[in-house]
Amino acid sequence: MTKSQAHKEALLSKIGDKSAAVGIIGLGYVGLPLAIHFCQAGFNVIGFDLDEDKIDMLGKGQSYIRHVPAEPISAVLTGGQFQPTLDFSRLAEADCLLICVPTPLTEKLEPDLSYLTSTTRTVQQYLHAGQLVVLESTTYPGTTDEMLLPMLEANGLEAGQDFFLAFSPEREDPGNKQFGAGNTPKVVGGITPACLEAACALYDSVTTAVPVSSTRAAELTKLLENTYRSVNIALVNEIKVLAHKMGIDLFEVIDAAATKPFGYTPFYPGPGLGGHCIPIDPFYLAWKAKEYDFSARFIHLAGEINVAMPYYVVEKTADALNQHRKSINGSRILVLGIAYKKDIDDDRESPGYAIMDMLMQKGAAVCYNDPWVPVLKPTRKYDFKLKSQTLTPEFLSKLDAVIIVTDHSDYDIAQIVKHAKIIVDTRNATAGITAGKEKVVMA
């Protein structure tokens, strides 16, 4: 048996009997649920993060993500399976390292891989023979073999021989109660066949691995998934604007079209795109396409339409106020919901922020309510320093307009419509409400 075969067989044996220590770098919306799931599947997990507050809370069995309950964190801590830490020297203790760090865009809509580059340098310091390294962060095709591979091989270790390197895109959907880490298949691509075998063995132990021919194929798979959603959401957003001009209820049309049992999948319009994936991932693909002298026109057009939706919401709000002989300047406007989708506390890339910013620039007195996001924290673009306002009949009646950005299940929409003067509904949240319907403007 060669040295490389010995490394692989030893790792496969550890994965098989679940004695392999799993290290997860980045305990955010992706890494934390993944860590819990690996623990629940019988592995010991070391969780790494640079945020001292996160590590402190997790070390006490508390969750800083509202839709991730504290109970399973406390349970795996008590059982000794989960060890959150700031000490990155412990990377050397892990048999399998999963990288789940942010990969945002710059202001010029280009990939920002600074977090990934920094993390890879740290992993390279502690990398040793027999380890498996898997990148889960979404990125452009070629990142794993063009960037990670040479950095990790800099100390003389060879991928597929001494250590194993793969890409398996995260498929976390925050707040989804039907699909999670345990029943969502994992696409896996390896640098070599041995790398693929090792990574598939790891993911097969907790879910179903879907092997593909290369890391590039796996990277493109994730971008295809979210570009598909971005393009279809852009399509329905554009048709929404047309339907409003035609006086047609688009939601009625979508529901009617959805009765077709083949060839159609319903997508729904909204105030714009939010979350870490759909607003960002297509631009990674479009950026990489330039290297091949290819213009991804469809992707760019979808991005332009989706980015424009907050402007459309503000325009419809101005029209509604004008009908009441008011201007945006000086109006008191409530943004209802700041999370990017209902019933989660994830506000990353929320269109609500862009809407608030535009309203403030036009002179509006803007406030917000979100039971899932009690305080607005600084983002890469915005720093509003606002707290969620309590919804009372008196408070609502003093507002000039309410914009429904996120239709959380907690909201009593009928009561909000009853007491507010103007409702700008971007989510069809007021469907089925008859009393006060004359106050509602669809956007």
What are the residue boundaries of the structural domains of the chain, listed by start?
Answer: 3-213, 269-442
* Bridge partners (DSSP) listed for residue 21: 44
Class of domain 269-442: alpha beta
CA separation for the pair 220, 71 (Å, rounded): 36
Task: State the burial class of residue 52 (Cβ atoms within 10 Å of its Cβ: 0-12, 13-18, 19+).
Answer: exposed
CA separation for the pair 227, 279 (Å, rounded): 9
> How high is the pLDDT of residue 315?
97
Run of H or E including 333: strand 332-336
**What is the CATH T-level fold of the domain 3-213, as seen in this structure?**
Rossmann fold (3.40.50)
What is the value of pTM for the model shown? Answer: 0.92
CA separation for the pair 393, 387 (Å, rounded): 18
- Cα–Cα–Cα angle for 301, 170, 43, rounded to 5 degrees: 175
As annotated, the active-site residues are 277
Nearest alpha-carbon partner for 116 in 153, 145, 144, 77: 144
Q: Is 104 helix (H, G, I), strand (E, B) or coil?
A: coil
Nearest alpha-carbon partner for 15 in 129, 93, 162, 131: 131
Contact 96, 202 (CB under 8 A): yes
Ranges of residues in the chain whose predicted pLDDT is under 50: none
> How high is the pLDDT of residue 267?
95
What is the biggest distance separating any 2 CA atoms in the chain, rounded to whole angstroms? Answer: 83
> How high is the pLDDT of residue 175?
81
3-state helix, strand, coil in the chain (%, to 5): 40, 15, 45
Strand intervals (E) in 26-180: 44-48, 82-85, 96-99, 132-135, 164-167
CA separation for the pair 441, 422 (Å, rounded): 8
> How high is the pLDDT of residue 208?
96
Contact 425, 316 (CB under 8 A): no
